């Protein structure tokens, strides 16, 4: 895993080549992309700096920082964890140790929820985010729904702390409450939108995951029990109790799980509103509604 010891005052271009080759040797999937991200962060430089002045030399301090980053990435620590930050939806979130590093896949859930709520965007909606993790989903939804309020629940103290930090950074702390607990167990109110990206990896598959995931994401955020669906069963059992009239539930699905999740939702008395694919063509988010009379029907009914 050792980087060839760099000559002091290595140029930016030479550093990029050296780190990319080190990462490639250690099995990193996109070595040059990651080497570039680490170099930019270590040197506090922009992409333009690197392109316009590739032969500028690194200071000893930047060189040391880059070597530390390169060593960690070669040991398969994700770039987002090394840098402690990740872009999600429109925000920059802090990525904390022992908390799931939010993934772009989860933006599919956010987009689906927002699309299905497009006529209620300015309503004072109440949202429940089960397994809030870093707060990624809550931060994205509250940034788009200006009158909404959210409760985020997580069993992990580290996740609750990270979600509180991100919610404060996103300027939505006045509209979000973070609670430590087991799914919706302790909640007695109903919500207009329940979202969740629960752990969904089958226990037996965790050992086969890439080191970036297996060694760095907490098992509490990954382990979905024998068939990967254990957390969905627990969450869905509570939905009839916690969904308000006309409410919506949107759940993220692991690869190949959407049909089973839809069946669990239907068995709980909900109606499937949409199953949406992510950019890779994988069915990634399942939305279901309470089977209420439509709001239009309610208005008709009241007018009689």
Ligand X SMILES: C[S@@+](CC[C@H](N)C(=O)[O-])C[C@H]1O[C@@H](n2cnc3c(N)ncnc32)[C@H](O)[C@@H]1O
What residues form the annotated binding site for S-adenosyl-L-methionine?
131-135, 154, 183, 197
136 sits near ligand X (criterion: CB under 6 A): yes
Q: Which is nearer to ligand X, 34 or 107 (CB)?
A: 107
* Contacting ligand X within 156-175 (CB under 6 A): 156, 159
Rounded (10°) CA dihedral 75, 80, 83, 89: 180
Q: Are 88 and 136 in contact (CB under 8 A)?
A: yes
Pairing of strands 91-94, 283-290: unpaired
Least distance (Å) between residue 263 CB and ligand X? 21
254 binds ligand X (CB under 6 A): no
Q: Does 261 bind ligand X (CB under 6 A)?
A: no
Tell whether residue 74 is a contact of ligand X (CB under 6 A): no
Instruction: Report, in angstroms and rounded to the nearest whole number, the Rg of the chain calculated over CA atoms.
Output: 22
Cβ distance to ligand X smaller for residue 19 or 110: 110
Site string for ligand X, 193-232 (x = CB under 6 A): ----xxx--------------------xx-----------
- If the CB atoms of residues 12 and 276 are measured against ligand X, the closer one turns out to be 276
The answer to whether 210 and 154 are in contact (CB under 8 A) is no
Nearer to ligand X, 124 or 179 (CB): 179
The answer to whether 89 and 112 are in contact (CB under 8 A) is no
Helix, coil or strand: residue 250: strand
d(CA 257, CA 286): 10
CB of 254 to ligand X, least distance (A): 10
Distance CA 216, CA 37 (A): 19
Among 39, 137, 261, 287, the residue binding ligand X under the rule CB under 6 A is 137
Residue 106 binding ligand X, by CB under 6 A: yes
Residue 33 near ligand X by CB under 6 A: no
CB 187 within 8 A of CB 128: yes
By Cβ distance, which residue is nearest to ligand X?
Answer: 133
Judged by DSSP in three states, 293 sits in coil
Query: Quick one: residue 270, left, alpha or beta (phi over 0 = left, psi -120 to 50 = alpha)?
Result: beta
Cβ burial of 29 (10 Å; 0-12, 13-18, 19+) is exposed
Among 133, 176, 178, 286, binds ligand X (CB under 6 A): 133
Output the smallest distance, CB 121 to ligand X, in A.
21
State the residues that interact with ligand X by CB under 6 A. Answer: 100, 102, 106, 131-134, 136-137, 153-156, 159, 182-183, 197-199, 220-221
């Amino acid at each position: 895993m050792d980087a060839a010891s760099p000559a002091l005052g290595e140029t930016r271009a030479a550093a990029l080549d050296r780190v990319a080759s080190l990462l490639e040797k250690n099995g990193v999937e996109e070595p040059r992309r990651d080497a570039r991200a680490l170099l930019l962060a270590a040197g506090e430089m922009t992409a333009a700096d690197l392109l316009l002045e590739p032969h500028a030399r690194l200071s000893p301090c930047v060189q040391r920082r880059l070597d530390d980053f390169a060593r960690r990435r070669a040991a398969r620590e994700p770039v987002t964890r090394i840098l402690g930050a990740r872009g999600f939806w429109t925000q920059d979130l802090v990525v904390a140790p022992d908390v799931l590093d939010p993934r772009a896949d989860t933006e599919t859930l956010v987009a689906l929820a927002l699309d299905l709520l497009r006529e209620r965007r300015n309503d004072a909606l109440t949202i429940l985010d089960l397994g809030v993790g870093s707060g990624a989903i809550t931060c994205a939804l509250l940034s788009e729904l200006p009158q909404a309020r959210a409760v985020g629940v997580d069993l992990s103290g580290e996740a609750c702390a990270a979600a509180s930090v991100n919610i404060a950074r996103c300027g939505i702390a006045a509209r979000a409450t973070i609670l430590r607990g087991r799914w919706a167990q302790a909640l007695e109110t109903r919500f207009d939108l329940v979202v969740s990206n629960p752990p969904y990896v089958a226990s037996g598959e965790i050992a086969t995951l890439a080191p970036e995931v297996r060694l760095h994401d907490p098992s509490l955020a990954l382990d979905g029990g024998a068939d990967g669906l254990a957390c969905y069963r627990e969450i869905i059992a509570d939905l009839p109790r916690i969904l308000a009239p006309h409410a919506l539930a949107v759940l993220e699905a692991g690869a190949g799980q959407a049909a089973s999740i839809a069946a669990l939702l239907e068995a709980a008395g909900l109606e499937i509103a949409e199953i949406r694919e992510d950019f890779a063509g994988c069915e990634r988010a399942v939305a279901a509604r309470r089977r209420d009379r439509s709001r239009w029907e309610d208005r008709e009914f009241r007018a009689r």
